[in-house]
Amino acid sequence: MSSLSLLYLMCQTPGYSQRKMGMTRRTFLMELARKKGFRVESELSDSVTHIVAEKNSYPEVLDWLRGQGVGDSSRFELLDISWFTACMEAGRPVDSEMKHRLMEQGYSPPLNIPESEALPFVASKVSQYSCQRKTTLNNCNKKFTDAFEIMAENYEFKENEIFCLEFLRAASVLKFLPFPVIRMKDIQGLPCMGDRVRDVIEEIIEEGESSRAKEVLNDERYKSFKQFTSVFGVGVKTSEKWYRMGLRTLEDIKADKSLKLSKMQKAGFLYYEDLVSCVSKAEADAVSLIVRNTVCTFLPDALVTITGGFRRGKKTGHDIDFLITNPGPREDDDLLHKVVDLWKKQGLLLYCDIIESTFLKEQMPSRKVDAMDSFQKCFAILKLCQPRVDNSCYNTSKNIDMAEVKDWKAIRVDLIIAPFEQYAFALLGWTGSRQFGRDLRRYAIHEKKMILDNHALYDRKKRIFLKARSEEEIFAHLDLDYVEPWERNA
């Protein structure tokens, strides 16, 4: 049993019209606390030392205590549900800090309280644009954002862009919050909190999970699309076609001999188990060394930068993106072809598809926030050799031939070639996150009358292209505070 004193979870207060903690939720929370080793009383008694209330103010709790015949309330710790939640997450009693205590109206915390605790979070100052927020990987609201991303993905599969973006924007806002949402008033005043989003949040607060997200996870169409799109080279359009043909699983696809798979899709199925598994930071570093050494063989002064999630500080990913440019006068239009030819000779290349550049000089930036750029690219699958696993890991009674044990892993690698004058724009775009990039372009259009893409920034009022040699200069052109790569995890 935890060393916590006895506590009492305050239920709905009679006489108040606002919705408080209901009996069902109170019972759920009491059982949760007991499972964690806490002792909870069903009725108020002399042994109770902590009273936890949800959506009740300090005066309401005092009124309730007087109604229970309690004259002196000072013997109780009067606490908000946030304290209870913190205890449940820690699995032990936590300090009843000032931020968790119910206070008299007008009470001012002592001056020695840290500013982060003394000052309330001002929701009205949170921007609708993630490019004006600094979002690290420290997500305090994962139970909400996970549900939102399931909902968004389902709407993406249905090609309902409006509802998809509604949930993605809401997830982005909650990822930014420096505290966990534990009650509906925590999201009051925040942007991107529409009715659909609020319904999901309220249900998770009250029930611990979202029934709507659960329904999506159990939906046959969603499950099929989730499987299909996990294959390299398969998108929503192909998934829709297969689903309409009556196909439901990857086994169905493999068994249907009438299907004509593209070269990319064939590679996707051939190396499926490797490609669907996460790429570790160590694997990304190993591939990075291969890419840099190969590129510099042909272009010694080239800059090779890892982008995507790994540049934003993630420890895992599903592929590795590299942006390549040459700051010197020498350029090599055949660089990608030379790189893949060398990898073929070295036995490292399992698949590649080179897309030639379609960029035109003085081309206007795209107004579409999700538009693909026109750089020369190579979508490849590399064979990353790995140390053999120790024989002791295997049961020799199963007669496993160690010569047949696979000592390499297929890794998805994207190479993007950007001219040096466009490098800063390409680096910003390919670093992500996807939502950060979307909001940055929306901000440029709606707030600054500019058009931004991975190639350039165009000022529509001045009718000029704005040059930038670094990401910092692009932010400065947009009158935005610079956001570090690891703060763009929106």
Q: State which H helix or E strand residue 279 sits in.
A: strand 279-280
Give the architecture (CATH level 2) of 219-270.
Orthogonal Bundle (1.10)
Predicted local confidence at residue 3, as pLDDT? 38
Dist CA 248 CA 222 (whole Å): 10
Predicted local confidence at residue 10, as pLDDT? 64
Dist CA 386 CA 230 (whole Å): 24
Dist CA 339 CA 344 (whole Å): 9
Q: Which candidate in 186, 274, 319, 453 is catalytic?
A: 319
Question: Is residue 414 annotated as a catalytic residue, yes or no?
Answer: yes
Q: Which candidate in 146, 219, 414, 459 is catalytic?
A: 414
Dist CA 73 CA 83 (whole Å): 19
Q: Which residues contact 39 (CB under 8 A, 6 or more apart)?
A: 1, 2, 4, 6, 7
Question: Is residue 321 annotated as a catalytic residue, yes or no?
Answer: yes
CATH number corresponding to 279-390+402-477: 3.30.460.10
Q: Which residues contact 320 (CB under 8 A, 6 or more apart)?
A: 279, 284, 287, 288, 306, 308, 310, 411, 412, 413, 414
Task: Please report, for the chain, the start and end positions of each structural domain, with discontinuous segments joined by +.
Answer: 7-118, 123-216, 219-270, 279-390+402-477
Side-chain half-sphere exposure of 92, counting CA atoms within 13 A: 3
Q: In the beta sheet, which residues pair with residue 459?
A: 450, 464
Q: Which candidate in 274, 321, 439, 453 is catalytic?
A: 321
Cis peptide bond upstream of 433, omega within 30: yes
Which stretches of the chain drop beneath a pLDDT of 50? 1-5, 12-19, 105-119, 389-400, 402-403
Dist CA 418 CA 406 (whole Å): 36
* CA nearest neighbour of 331 among 263, 419, 405: 419
CATH number corresponding to 123-216: 1.10.150.110
| pLDDT tens by residue, 377-405 | 999 999 999 865 444 433 444 444 544 67
Predicted local confidence at residue 44, as pLDDT? 80
Contact status, residue 50 vs residue 6, Cβ threshold 8 Å: yes
Predicted local confidence at residue 18, as pLDDT? 38
| 332 labelled ligand-binding | no
Distances (CA, A) of 212 to 145, 187, 196, 215, 277: 14, 20, 10, 5, 27
Q: Do domains 7-118 and 123-216 have the same CATH topology?
A: no
Class of 7-118 in CATH = alpha beta
Predicted local confidence at residue 323, as pLDDT? 97
| 319 labelled ligand-binding | yes
Predicted local confidence at residue 190, as pLDDT? 96
Question: Is residue 72 annotated as a catalytic residue, yes or no?
Answer: no
Predicted local confidence at residue 39, as pLDDT? 83
| 321 labelled ligand-binding | yes
Q: What 3 state SS string does 347-397 have? A: CCEEEEEEECCCCCCCCCCCCCCCCCCCCEEEEEEEEEECCCCCHHHCCHH
Q: What angle do CA 348, 350, 353 make, to 5 degrees?
A: 115
Residue 90: CB atoms within 10 A of its CB come to 11
Predicted local confidence at residue 38, as pLDDT? 81
Predicted local confidence at residue 395, as pLDDT? 45
Predicted local confidence at residue 21, as pLDDT? 57
Residue 343: CB atoms within 10 A of its CB come to 20
Predicted local confidence at residue 114, as pLDDT? 43
Q: Following DSSP, what letter does each residue of 99-110 receive, concatenated?
A: GGB---TT----
What is the pTM assigned to this prediction? 0.74
